[in-house]
């Protein structure tokens, strides 16, 4: 019985470490950014972190996003461009941040047990659609972009890079966390 409890403690400690590590990785990747003059949404590596966390953490993936969001809401400058505070979440990138959480939750639970390249790639593509859906919706409803304007500013500049991140995250996830 004692061995089972210690084994469970080790698993919990490992899970907690990975959740915190992915929250920290999210902070780092939020600040690896390229600003584009024609959109308020920068290019970052955050979606890459979300994708890999889905495979690495599965059902615990949303917890890394919750920690990331709570740190930012607490005023710690963890969001892109050193942003922080609740007001930041109502800015143009707030929908994407919400999308990170929703995608991590949905696909952490929906990820198949047996992982293949195709299954993981499809999962990450689907997660990307969810993230961009929330980002575009946010731009339309909170920031009064037209739908076409939101797609032009919030999706199109990122498609090629997103495909690259999805393929890289798929390879890395399968090699590291299978």
Q: Give residue 6's pLDDT.
A: 67
Q: Give residue 171's pLDDT.
A: 97
Q: Give residue 95's pLDDT.
A: 97
Q: Give residue 56's pLDDT.
A: 96
Distance CA 102, CA 152 (A): 23
Q: Give residue 146's pLDDT.
A: 97
Running along the chain, 178 residues long, what does each successive block of 10 average in pLDDT? Answer: 70 91 96 86 94 97 98 95 92 96 97 95 98 97 95 95 97 91
Task: State how far the alpha carbon of 88 is from the alpha carbons of 12, 68, 73, 130, in Å.
Answer: 32, 13, 8, 21
> In this structure, what token pair is assigned to residue 108?
């952490």
Q: Give residue 87's pLDDT.
A: 93
Query: Could you give all domains of the chain from N- to C-terminal order, each with its CATH number?
Result: 2-177 (1.10.1760.20)
């Amino acid at each position: 019985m004692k061995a089972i409890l210690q084994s469970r403690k080790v698993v919990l400690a490992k899970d907690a470490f990975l959740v915190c590590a992915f929250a920290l990785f999210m902070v780092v990747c939020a600040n690896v950014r390229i600003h584009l003059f024609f959109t308020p949404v920068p290019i970052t590596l955050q979606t890459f972190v979300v994708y890999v966390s889905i495979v690495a953490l599965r059902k615990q993936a949303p917890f890394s996003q919750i920690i990331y969001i709570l740190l930012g809401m607490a005023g710690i400058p963890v969001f892109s461009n050193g942003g922080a505070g609740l007001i930041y979440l109502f800015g143009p990138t707030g929908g994407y941040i919400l999308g990170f959480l929703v995608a991590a939750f949905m696909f952490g639970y929906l990820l198949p047990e047996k992982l293949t390249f195709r299954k993981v790639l499809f999962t990450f593509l689907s997660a990307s659609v969810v993230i961009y859906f929330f980002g575009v919706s946010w731009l339309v409803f909170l920031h009064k972009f037209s739908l076409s304007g939101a797609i032009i500013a919030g999706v199109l500049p990122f498609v090629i890079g997103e495909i690259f991140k999805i393929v890289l995250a798929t390879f890395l996830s399968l090699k590291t966390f299978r």
